[in-house]
Amino acid sequence: MTIDTTSPALTSPAAGPAPESRFATADGVTYHYYELGSGPDTIFLHGGGPGCTAWSDFGPVAPYFTEDRHCVLVDILQYGQSEKCLITGPMWDFHAAKTIALMDELGIEKADFICNSWGGTIALNLAALHPDRVRSLVVTGSMPVFYGPLAPLPERGHRGRKARDVYYGGEGPTRDKMRTLITSLEWFDADRLPEETLDMRYEQSLDEGERGLAAMSDSPRGDWQDLTERLGQIEAPTLFMWGREDAFLTPDYPMMLARMVQRGNLHVMDHVSHHLQEERPGAFHAVVDGFLRAIDHR
């Protein structure tokens, strides 16, 4: 057998130009979002890193899903062009309530959720509190509980916060610091990172509102919640999609989560870290699309 060593290296596409911006006011706050495609309602919630937005996190993979789905890509509150409101009280309860209000405003009765990290924890809590509004969940790299199956997690899940503090601290945000943050924590292969993605994240991180929130440390984001008691209430079929080289949480952690929800599943993808939907969007879609099509086959 001859092994082909001439195949080109894997590449990761940058997001194309963002579609038309849309805004909606729901329960007193203003959301920015994008709306594409037609078919089953599918809501995308992005991660919580500096400069993350709906388009930075899901722009590269969105074209796969828009072929047969109505995709709503939402800037989470305090990110992108959504309102930079201050949050008090339990943080995941706040986001769940506001997201339900947004669904009401957009006329979405029930949806599939495809979410990364911060957004995934929002969706898990929403599914536990409002099971009638969630058809299914796809969650990557989220931390809804503060412990692991083998050992306590370091820093009680605050590694992301410390990374944000380092990024905004010292000399302040720079393009080089953003590259270091992404390639050390979010992507497995630094050579795959498109310059356009780096620019998008860096330029958004300079937003005056986001810098103001970062200067307040964690207090403007609400009180941390451990969702251990909530996960067992989730009725929706749930797929935990995990990067084998996730820099935050190794795959034994989502295996534990998959056992904590009633219909939990786990897929571990090789050669990706925390933003697998950007690093290998075609492979990500192939797995998620199969899961979504299989939900009704029991």
Predicted pLDDT at 45: 98
The reply to whether 41 falls in a domain is yes
The reply to whether 215 falls in a domain is yes
The reply to whether 51 falls in a domain is yes
Residues 289-294: what's their mean pLDDT? Answer: 97
Could you tell me the residue range of the domain that residue 55 belongs to?
21-297
Among positive and negative, which fits the CA dihedral 45, 48, 54, 56?
negative
The reply to whether 11 falls in a domain is no
Q: What is the CATH number of the domain that holds 71?
A: 3.40.50.1820
The answer, yes or no, to whether residue 10 has pLDDT greater than 80, is no
The reply to whether 12 falls in a domain is no
**pTM for the model:** 0.94
Q: In this predicted model, what pLDDT tens digit does every residue of 71-119 receive, in sequence order?
A: 999 999 999 999 999 999 999 999 999 999 999 999 999 999 999 999 9
Predicted pLDDT at 150: 76
The reply to whether 8 falls in a domain is no
The reply to whether 13 falls in a domain is no
The reply to whether 1 falls in a domain is no
Overall number of domains in the chain: 1
